[in-house]
A and B are shown apart, each in its own frame.
Chain A
Amino acid sequence: SQTIHQWPATLVQPVGSPLSLECTVEGTSNPNLYWYRQAAGRGLQLLFYSVGIGQISSEVPQNLSASRPQDRQFILSSKKLLLSDSGFYLCAWSVRGQGRRYEQYFGPGTRLTVT
């Protein structure tokens, strides 16, 4: 069966510090991968998605970047965190390909607080 891992679960970082959040998927190949941010009490904002190794699409201009060094690994980074980067970050994957069901499977999330 498929499993998605995200770490760390919680993170407190000072303004200006770097960030690296990691997401890995097990039990599937060639997934689409996604990073979302959820502000407190709000919906999910799609940040990045990837359809393959090294292929990253950014949805909104921001202080963050994403990379996909391996098929089932997705990394969210920042060189210098801002207060506005605080939030709940969720990684997700979905099956790629025409005619497939497109449901997404979410990781447990990382709660980031920038102080």
Chain B
Amino acid sequence: QSALTQPASVSGSPGQSITISCTGTSSDVGGYDYVSWYQQYPGKAPKLMIYDVSNRPSGVSNRFSASKSGNTASLTISGLQAEDEADYYCCSYTTSSTLVVFGGGTKLTVL
């Protein structure tokens, strides 16, 4: 099972909005509304930011939003802040031989 495809890096200035894409197939992203997003700071465990394509767990800022179209999911961070600088991973349930697949990760740099 190949990893979901994410851009290696994105950047934006404070206050701006950025979007990170996550492309899969009809066996994962496109087939189910079971896409999640994780934020990870260096040396720290990941944190769940989005589940079921567009839902935020309690405590996650509403500056984080997400959606899906076909085989591509997207995470948008609005009003960028320095603290948003981190790695972001998409993740999906899959009907392939495995059960769960992650994206390769995207490094967000806040300029």
Q: Do A and B bind each other?
A: no
Interface residues of B (CB under 8 A from A): none
Interface residues of A (CB under 8 A from B): none
